[in-house]
Amino acid sequence: MKITKLETIRLASRPTLIWVRVHTDGGLIGLGESWFGCSAIEADIHDRIAPALIGADASRIEALNRAMRPYVGFCGTGAEIRALSAVDVALWDIAGQAAGKPLHALLGGATRDAVPVYNTCAGPDYVSKTSDVRPDNFGLSSGGPKEGRVYEDLTSFMARPAELAAELMEMGISSMKIWPFDFAAGAIDGLAISPADIRKALAPFEAIRKAHGDRMRIKAELHGLWGLSAAKAICAALEPIGPDWIEDPIWMDRTGDLAELAAATRAPLAGGETLGGLGQLRDLIATGLIGTPIVDVTWGGGVTFARKVAALAEAFAKPVAFHDCSGPVTLTASTHLAMACPNVVEQEITRAFYYGWYHECLDRLPPIDKGRIRAPEGNGLGAALNPDLLRRSDVLVRATDRS
């Protein structure tokens, strides 16, 4: 089964997301995805990856993953690795279709029927315009929710956190992630945070605890905005809250600082979605002493990479978490991995995405019922691009084939 064409699809109205379809001479088409810096990803797929893959046997995924790995940009989550990641997911999708099995069956089979979810409390337009993860790109709406928009969870966790937690629990979701520290004045350079800003950022956590006690589990996201001293102060302030974890308290490549931070706090630390390559994740787990490594399947190296990181984490008796605040293929591939990997505790979702624009993109999504998610029925990913998406006026399609 030979690869005959690589095709990329983007929407002008959603510039942070890109899909890739890998076509074969047997008629099977695999679907992949990545996000942020989509013009660079598109160029790398067509200029570098397509010439290396067209005519190759699509079933040789490990070999093709290595063939896609560049000399420059061979690790991390730069454009080359994000491009590789999207194509790798598509190759696994083809493998499942060819075998007549869902992706999780190729990864050793499901270890459970469904996986609990936690909600990342973003709104529908969160980081949807650029790759900058800052308040100016958080998609905050003024004047209250707009018609047709669902789950303005970022606005809610700042203004009505206890009510938001109650809404989630009514859906069967008992874990949530919020990031009020991003709005502190010190987050601009990350060198220091004032006591007043700490108190203000703690308020949503305290309101949830006061209203719901331990019935709602809480995760704190810091987006790597802080230096070591400020991160220590924030972690100390969060300790009484009893968070599940504090995510990306500093940049995840600072493994020495991470080890010092881990030694200075009782709060569990998590992170790693901005890293790619086994070497970086090995150092994060072994040297940085991170409690829960987080993997973005479509940033870090695809399914091939993610399953190896899960095994590496398991060797250190640690859980692994798969990131989703990005796109529907990322969530679908992550759900297959979460079902197959025994050391996954829960799967991230962003309900504003899942119940909003994700449904416009794919013909089916992983079903969620009473706070638990499972892979969609079908072979491979079990999902394909919604045909209506390809007929949109703002769709941008580029293809490279044998000619």
Amino acid in position 93: D
What does the pLDDT look like over 201-255, one tens digit per residue?
999 999 999 999 999 999 999 999 999 999 999 999 999 999 999 999 999 999 9
Other CB atoms within a 10 A radius of the CB of residue 240 amount to 13
3-state secondary structure 137-149: HCCCCCCCCCCCC
User: Residue 402 has what pLDDT?
Assistant: 81
Q: Tell me the three state secondary structure of residue 15.
A: strand
Distance between CA atoms of residues 35 and 51, nearest Å: 22
User: Residue 148 has what pLDDT?
Assistant: 57
Distance between CA atoms of residues 212 and 355, nearest Å: 25
Whether 94 and 58 have beta carbons less than 8 Å apart is answered as yes
User: Residue 344 has what pLDDT?
Assistant: 98
Distance between CA atoms of residues 229 and 389, nearest Å: 47
Distance between CA atoms of residues 119 and 315, nearest Å: 28
Whether 339 and 346 have beta carbons less than 8 Å apart is answered as no
Distance between CA atoms of residues 196 and 198, nearest Å: 5
Distance between CA atoms of residues 185 and 164, nearest Å: 25
User: Residue 130 has what pLDDT?
Assistant: 81
User: Residue 133 has what pLDDT?
Assistant: 86
The HSE-up count of residue 265 (CA atoms within 13 Å, CB side) is 32
Give the gyration radius of the chain's Cα atoms.
20
For 130, 223, 235, 295, 327, the CA distances from 140, given in Å and listed in that order, are 14, 17, 26, 26, 19
Residues 6 or more apart whose CB falls under 8 angstroms from that of 105 comprise 96, 99
User: Residue 137 has what pLDDT?
Assistant: 82
User: Residue 301 has what pLDDT?
Assistant: 97
Domains and CATH numbers, the chain: 3-100+385-401 (3.30.390.10), 105-373 (3.20.20.120)
Per-residue pLDDT of the chain (403 residues; tens, 9 = 90+): 999 999 999 999 999 999 999 999 999 999 999 999 999 999 999 999 999 999 999 999 999 999 999 998 888 999 999 999 999 999 999 999 999 999 999 999 999 999 999 999 999 988 888 888 888 888 876 544 455 568 999 999 999 999 999 999 999 999 999 999 999 999 999 999 999 999 999 999 999 999 999 999 999 999 999 999 999 999 999 999 999 999 999 999 999 999 999 999 999 999 999 999 999 999 999 998 899 999 999 999 999 999 999 999 999 999 999 999 889 999 999 999 999 999 999 999 999 999 999 999 999 999 999 999 999 999 999 999 999 999 999 999 999 998 6
Dihedral-angle region of residue 244 (phi above 0 means left; psi in -120 to 50 means alpha; beta otherwise): alpha
User: Residue 95 has what pLDDT?
Assistant: 98
User: Residue 138 has what pLDDT?
Assistant: 86
User: Residue 256 has what pLDDT?
Assistant: 94
Distance between CA atoms of residues 60 and 223, nearest Å: 36
3-state secondary structure 322-350: ECCCCCHHHHHHHHHHHHHCCCCCCEEEC
